[in-house]
């Protein structure tokens, strides 16, 4: 549908039911945030909170990705050998 409307993508979807609603948001092209709420809750408030949460989560995911991709970062488990693991679990 996005291509038909000449859009790159739709990052948000909203489904309205009789009693419950679902707001779906793509966060940073890697996580889907789903919020389920009833008809008593304002859609505008949900959108506002989802936008704020998405921005915060995206920042967290970007920081994690940078940390994992850092070649100078040493893993705390680099010195552990297979023998160490075997000795740990042997009775």
| pLDDT tier for residue 91 given thresholds of 50, 70 and 90 | low
Q: In what order do the strands lie in the sheet with 12-16?
A: 12-16, 20-27, 31-38
Please, which residues have CB within 8 angstroms of residue 65's CB and are 6 or more apart in sequence? none
Selected residue with higher pLDDT from 75 and 21: 21
Tokens of 88: 């740990």
Please, which residues have CB within 8 angstroms of residue 13's CB and are 6 or more apart in sequence? 22, 23, 24
Is the pTM higher than 0.85? The answer reads no
What per-residue confidence (pLDDT) applies to 1?
A: 82
Instruction: Put residue 36 in one of left, alpha, beta given phi > 0 → left and psi -120 to 50 → alpha.
Output: beta
């Amino acid at each position: 549908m996005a291509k038909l409307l000449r859009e790159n993508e739709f990052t948000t979807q909203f489904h309205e039911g009789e009693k419950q609603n679902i707001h779906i948001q793509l966060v940073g092209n890697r996580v889907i945030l789903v919020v389920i709420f009833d008809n008593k809750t304002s859609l505008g408030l949900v959108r506002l909170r989802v936008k704020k949460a998405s921005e915060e989560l995206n920042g967290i995911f970007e920081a994690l990705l940078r940390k994992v991709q850092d070649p100078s970062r040493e893993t705390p488990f680099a010195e552990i050998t297979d023998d160490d693991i075997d000795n740990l679990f042997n009775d």
